[in-house]
A = this chain, B = another copy of it.
Amino acid sequence: MERVDVAIIGCGPAGLSAAINAKWRGKEVVLFGTKLCSPALHKAHQIDNYLGFPAMAGEDLRQRFLEHAESMGIKPELQTVSAAYPMSGYFELQLRNDNLQVTTLVLATGVAVARPLPGEEKYIGRGISYCATCDGNFYRGKVVAVISEDAHGEEEALFLASLAEKVYYLPLYAPVGRLPENVEIVDDKPAEFSGGDRLEKLELKSGKSLDIDGCFVLKEQLPLTQLVPGLELADRHIKVDRRMATNIPGLFAAGDVAGRPYQLAKAVAEGQLAALSAVSYIDSQKK
């Protein structure tokens, strides 16, 4: 399998800055992102402290950032990376329908707004999964729930419906397309996961609960330690040094996910530093 030099997760200011700098240094770059790339920037009425460009609307900056990247041939791929496994000298990225090998990885995912549900972390790997393609086969003939932040989840539910006896589908958005008969759309909100050693129930906000064997939680923001096993955190952010290196060789982090203050200029600089560090890492591996 071909290996990409630098994969970047997140297309906010940190991720885009990492992308343009890595590309500028002649590396092959793949950038994974979400639709808006930076909801915070999109919503910012006016930004006055990006040196040289006072009184800019956040949305104007967001578009200029994307255009800058596009002018260098970089376009975010709207795809969720459900896991990144550190291997010997590279990372194996788990995508929806594919795997990808990359030499270095920059995490620029921003800060997770949503916290995990009660019980979610307890049952990871014991009923809770973040990737239907990867783990669907474990639930042949069983009952599963799917909690999804967006319509991509319907594809996953469709796939799971072909394996499982019954699928409960909890959309955290509207509307929902047509799904097979064994998929029940649940008009309720998830509240808590419970069970014994393995996951058994999904408790709902209404007080009802669903008896399930497994649950696929499909969201843009994965818990960081779930995304990269073994990643060291510090106070809910990724622990980095001044070169944006994490505890895992070849893995770098930048922007809000790497710590406060949550500031644009910091994100841009850290994206650049992470990219330069990734480039050095790649070059040192080749020696």
Binding site for B on A (CB under 8 A): 13, 16-17, 20-21, 24, 48-54, 61, 64-65, 68, 71-72, 242, 259, 261, 263, 265-266, 268-273, 276
Contact = CB atoms under 8 A, between A and B. Distances in A.
Contacts of A64: 52-53
Contacts of A16: 51
Nearest to A69: B51
B24 A49 contact: yes
Copies of this chain present in the complex amount to: 2
B61 A52 contact: yes
A268 B51 contact: yes
Main secondary structure of the interface of A (DSSP, over half): helix
A108 to B, nearest CB: 12
A20 B265 CA distance: 12
Contacts of A269: 263, 265-266, 268-270
A17 B265 contact: yes
Nearest to A242: B242
Contacts of A276: 261, 263
B52 A24 contact: no
Given A17-B51, A54-B71, A261 B242 contact: no
Contacts of A13: 51
A276 B261 CA distance: 9
A236 to B, nearest CB: 15
Contacts of A53: 52-53, 64, 68
